[in-house]
Amino acid sequence: MFARDMVPHHRQAVEMATLAETRASDRRVKDLAARIRKAQDTEITTMAGWLTGWGQPVPPPDAGHTAHGPGMMNHADMEDLKAASGKAFDRMFCDLMIRHHQGALEMGRCGQDPRR
């Protein structure tokens, strides 16, 4: 379940990070986005391989647009990010990416013994 849900989660982060290439104004935001994109592209490939090896379906590329897991951006958030540029984009990207990764942490804790 974790790998199945994390693939679209990572794809959305990659989509967000790709926007930074042309919309961000701060070099640090561009560098962060590039690192996120590289790492999460690799992790998508790994998790898709696990799912295939387990005989499970890999979520289709557009699954991130319909997923509603923790930290996932809704359509309005993504459209706002796509429309932003410069310092406004930088701030929005960072705020949304923090929320996105906090959601990933929540997903990682699902099923864990709460006493740990």
Higher pLDDT: 1 or 49? It is 49
* Helix ranges, the chain (H): 2-23, 27-53, 75-83, 86-109
Task: Say how far apart CA 70 and CA 50 lie, in whole Å.
Answer: 22
pLDDT band at 112 (very low <50, low <70, confident <90, very high): low
Checking if the pLDDT of 15 tops 70, the result is: yes
**What is the residue-averaged pLDDT of the chain?**
90
Task: Say how far apart CA 102 and CA 70 lie, in whole Å.
Answer: 8
- Mind listing the pLDDT tens digit for each residue in 58-88? 998 876 655 567 888 888 999 999 999 999 9
Task: Say how far apart CA 19 and CA 79 lie, in whole Å.
Answer: 11
